[in-house]
Amino acid sequence: QQRIKIELWQGLTGDLGSAVEEVCQRFNDSQKEFEISCPTQGSYDSAVQNAIAAFRAKKQPTIVQVFDAGTLDLMLSEAFVPARKLMEENGYKIDWTNYFPGIANYYANSKGELYSFPFNSSSALFYWNKDAFAKIGKTEAPKTWQEVEAFARALKSAGYECPMAINYDTWTLLEQFSAIHGEPIATKDNGYGGLDAELVINKTKFVDYIKFMKKGLDEGLFKIKLPETGANIVQAFASGECQMTMTSVADHGTVGKTAKPEMKWSVAMLPVMEGTKRLNSLVGGASLWVLNGKSKDEYRAAAAFLNFIAKPESELFWSTRTGYIPVTKTGFQHLKEQGFYDKPQYKGREIALESLTASEVTPVSRGIRLGGFIQIRKEMRDALSDIFAGKVSVEDGINAAVERSNAVLRRFEKTYAGKQLL
Ligand SMILES: O=P(O)(O)OC[C@H](O)CO
């Protein structure tokens, strides 16, 4: 009997992309009726863009992985089958309250019903090299940015060429920074209150933070690390070239696998500016959306796959293989029962959960719900690249990016005027 074949277009690459393929292979090995293939589209951005273009051409995959920044665009599109509908129609009884509310709410409509399936959830962490820190007499990670600066200076004096690796990633530099410092990104509760939101990041602590980062770059305390110039931040940290960085907990597994066994390193919550009362960090990562226009059999296959990945054993595999956090309560319980968080190689991953729950969620630390956010991130990345290269002043660069981003928001508002989330 021929298997029913479906595709999941994923946005992860490298080691994490291989991990998704392994999940898909495990599903294929677990039964004989369905076969899923999970080709990468090269980036999170491309996965969303390719899937939307394919949808228009009626060549869409059955499932697409959509990162946080693409969530509202998908929600407002007519392109998907809501998660509950898919599972009900295919005979699965899902306890939707089993998903952690902080994660599920991100992908739910105003009534709390999930549109997509939480899959790879994360938050950002600070990675630090214990061996290098020992050389400057430090045994703990910096808690404030002022400490980061002082430690970086000491590392530099001790002969380390790259105290801290950074890039232009707005998720850490802008979004996580703003949330944990209690600063808004946009009006209307970061967009949750309506499509008429406007960016306000040219009026918040973010401006001073970017000045701080630029000064650190000019002093050689921070170094830009990008794939196109050799190593990205994760590779630069794992190889021991750079002694600090900040990236997703998702990369914890990759660093563990690629760093030399003798290299001692750890993770901590992102630093804050001195005198800040820390708020919770934002949930990152992506969820899986089932697209319209497929056959009954393809939906049966999708439902079977999505049921498979939510099983505690699948969550254990996924969180072990990557650094992503479990998305269900039973998955988390299963990990704890297996002694996961006590194993030395996984130690530190619980800090992502601590960071996500560091405070009561406030309107600015709940998340970001802005249309066209993929484009807005690009505007900001371009601005940061110009600012860090000294082509434009911090204020001018951010102001111009805010102006361009607000134009994106206004176009989006016009397109979806009057449309309600179901
Ligand atoms: O690196 P990830 O998968 O944890 O995702 C981080 C951000 O949420 C991407 O938008």
Q: Which atom belonging to ligand 1 lies closest to the Cα atom of 16?
A: 3
- Structure ipTM: 0.98
For the stretch 392-404, pLDDT in tens is 999 999 999 999 9
For the stretch 212-236, pLDDT in tens is 999 999 999 999 999 998 999 999 9
Same domain, 37 and 69: yes
Range name among 23-37, 93-107, 365-379 with the lowest pLDDT average: 93-107
Same domain, 393 and 295: no
If you average pLDDT over every residue of the chain, what do you get?
A: 95
Residue 411 clears pLDDT 60, i.e. is over it: yes
Same domain, 192 and 175: yes
Residue 422 clears pLDDT 70, i.e. is over it: no
For the stretch 161-206, pLDDT in tens is 999 999 999 999 999 999 999 999 999 999 999 999 999 999 999 9
Q: Which atom belonging to ligand 1 lies closest to the Cα atom of 284?
A: 8
Same domain, 97 and 28: yes
Q: Is residue 421 part of a domain?
A: no
Q: Atom 9 (ligand 1): residue with closest C-alpha?
A: 285
Q: Is residue 20 part of a domain?
A: yes
Compute the chain's Rg from CA coordinates.
21
Same domain, 118 and 143: no
Q: Which residue has tokens 């206004």? A: 410
Q: Which amino acid is at 279?
A: L
Q: Which atom belonging to ligand 1 lies closest to the Cα atom of 67?
A: 10
Q: Is residue 266 part of a domain?
A: yes
Same domain, 129 and 104: no
- CA nearest neighbour of 225 among 211, 239, 208: 239
Domain boundary among 356, 378, 400: 356
Q: Which pLDDT band, with edges at 50, 70 and 90, does 263 fall under?
A: very high
Number of domains in the chain: 2
- Ligand 1 lining (C-beta closer than 6 Å): 44, 67-69, 120, 122, 171, 248, 250, 284-285
Same domain, 229 and 248: yes
DSSP, collapsed to helix, strand or coil, labels residue 265 as strand
* Domain assignment of residue 245, given as a range: 124-281+362-415
Element (DSSP H or E) covering residue 266: strand 265-268
Q: Atom 2 (ligand 1): residue with closest C-alpha?
A: 285
For the stretch 307-357, pLDDT in tens is 999 999 999 999 999 999 999 999 999 999 999 999 999 999 999 999 999
CATH of the domain at 155: 3.40.190.10
Residue 418 clears pLDDT 80, i.e. is over it: no
pTM recorded for the entire structure: 0.95
- If one counts every other C-beta atom within 10 angstroms of the C-beta of residue 353, the result is 17
CA distance 105 to 75: 13
CA distance 96 to 105: 11
Alpha helices in 259-349, H assignment, sequence order: 296-309, 312-321, 329-337
Q: Which residue has tokens 């309600």? A: 420
Q: Is residue 167 part of a domain?
A: yes
Q: Which pLDDT band, with edges at 50, 70 and 90, does 421 fall under?
A: low
Q: Is residue 422 part of a domain?
A: no
Residue 29 clears pLDDT 90, i.e. is over it: yes
CA of 318 from ligand 1 middle (Å) equals 15
CA distance 190 to 183: 10
Pocket test of ligand 1: the residue of 20, 44, 127, 327 to mutate, having most ligand atoms within 8 Å of its CB, is 44
Q: Atom 1 (ligand 1): residue with closest C-alpha?
A: 248
Q: Which amino acid is at 228?
A: E
Determine phi and psi for 359, rounding to 5 degrees: -155, 175
Residue 210 clears pLDDT 70, i.e. is over it: yes
